[in-house]
């Protein structure tokens, strides 16, 4: 039988089996995938300077959350964040959240940690995204469709309720989407 040193703290090397090696590698790979999702977010910030959250925590609910943050940076814009796969998928929406029959540009930005859903505060000058961040709306959402180029969801927040659609713009680059209010 194969022996593996330092595979598990709770077992001696003789007690470890190949199944445990595979399971341990899977867990490590999943952990690295979560960290990779936040690599760009972490690279852009100096956590000694900014109060923005860094470390991911376990979520406490099975419901998917969304948050819309009012962000006074160089220009006022809104950040739409949707929980997916342990992180917050994020878009900057320069003209705010659309009403029915409006289409607003939404620029995809780096994933943010789950903790960012409760972040409000001042990002210091000289830091990425410097300015004031306030929560404008927060709640849960249900996914109707989540594909590479189209996302359909139903928001249930304090201000926003109902159907919203994100559609990737083909000619405008990978990061540009349209955000629309769906008709009920």
pLDDT tens-digit map of 47-92: 666 666 666 555 556 899 999 999 999 999 999 999 998 899 999 9
Joined tokens for residue 123: 């990002």
Burial of 149 (0-12, 13-18, 19+ CB in 10 A): exposed
Is 136 domain-assigned? yes
8 Å CB contact between 81 and 151: no
To the nearest whole number, what is the mean pLDDT of the chain? 82
Is 90 domain-assigned? yes
pLDDT tens-digit map of 89-131: 999 999 999 999 999 999 999 999 998 899 999 999 998 889 9
Is 38 domain-assigned? no
CA distance 184 to 136: 23
Domain that holds residue 114: 57-181
Is 66 domain-assigned? yes
Is 130 domain-assigned? yes
Q: For the chain, what is the domain count?
A: 1
8 Å CB contact between 86 and 34: yes
Is 29 domain-assigned? no
Is 4 domain-assigned? no
CA distance 152 to 145: 5
CA-wise closest residue to 133 among 175, 90, 174, 178: 90
Is 31 domain-assigned? no
Average pLDDT over residues 163-184: 91
> Which residues are CB-contacts of 22 (< 8 A; sequence separation ≥ 6)?
none
């Amino acid at each position: 039988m194969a022996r593996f040193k330092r595979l598990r703290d709770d077992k001696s090397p003789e007690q470890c089996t190949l199944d445990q090696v595979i399971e341990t590698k899977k867990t490590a790979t999943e952990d690295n995938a979560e960290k990779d999702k936040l690599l760009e977010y972490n690279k852009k910030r100096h956590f000694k300077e900014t109060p923005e959250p860094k470390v991911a925590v376990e979520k406490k609910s099975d419901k998917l959350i969304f948050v819309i943050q009012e962000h006074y940076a160089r220009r006022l814009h809104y950040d739409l964040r949707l929980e997916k796969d342990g992180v917050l998928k994020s878009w900057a929406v320069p003209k705010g959240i659309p009403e029915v029959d409006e289409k607003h540009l939404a620029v995809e930005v780096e994933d943010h940690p789950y903790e960012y859903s409760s972040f409000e505060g001042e990002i210091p000058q000289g830091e990425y995204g410097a300015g004031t961040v306030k929560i404008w709306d927060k709640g849960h959402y249900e996914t109707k469709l989540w594909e590479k180029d189209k996302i359909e969801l139903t928001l249930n927040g304090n201000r926003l309720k109902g159907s919203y659609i994100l559609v990737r713009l083909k000619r405008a680059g990978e990061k540009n989407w349209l955000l629309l209010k769906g008709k009920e």
